[in-house]
Amino acid sequence: MSPQTVIFYCLAVIIILSAVIATFARNIVNAAYGLFFTLLALGGVYVLLRADFLAVTQIVIYVGGILVLLLFGILLTNRRLEDLIISGQRSSLLGVVMGCVIFAVLLAIIFYARWPQSENAQLEGTTAPLGYLLLQNFLLPFEFSSITLLAALLGASYLVRPSERD
Residues 135-164 that bind another protein (CB under 8 A): 136-138, 141, 145, 148-149, 151-153, 155-157, 159-160
Q: Output the smallest distance, CB 121 to another protein, in A.
A: 3
Q: Binding another protein by CB under 8 A: which of 14, 44, 106, 165?
A: 106
Interaction of residue 133 with another protein, rule CB under 8 A: yes
Q: Binding another protein by CB under 8 A: which of 116, 140, 164, 165?
A: 116
Q: Binding another protein by CB under 8 A: which of 10, 92, 139, 143?
A: 92
Interaction of residue 35 with another protein, rule CB under 8 A: yes
**CA separation, residue 38 to residues 49, 79, 85, 87, 103 (Å):** 16, 28, 21, 20, 18
Instruction: Say if CB 18 and CB 34 are below 8 A apart.
Output: yes
* CA separation for the pair 144, 41 (Å, rounded): 30
Residues 41-60 that bind another protein (CB under 8 A): 42, 45-46, 48-54, 56-60
Backbone angles phi, psi at 86, to 5 degrees: -100, 130
Local structure of residue 52 (DSSP, 8 states): H
Q: Binding another protein by CB under 8 A: which of 103, 112, 140, 143?
A: 103
Give the binding-site size for another protein (rule: CB under 8 A): 112
State the helix-helix crossing angle for 127-136 and 139-159, rounded to 10 degrees: 90
**Contacts with 36 (C-beta within 8 Å, 6 or more apart), sequence order:** 18, 63, 67
Q: Binding another protein by CB under 8 A: which of 10, 14, 16, 143?
A: 16
Q: Output the smallest distance, CB 164 to another protein, in A.
A: 14
Neighbours of 32 (CB within 10 A): 18
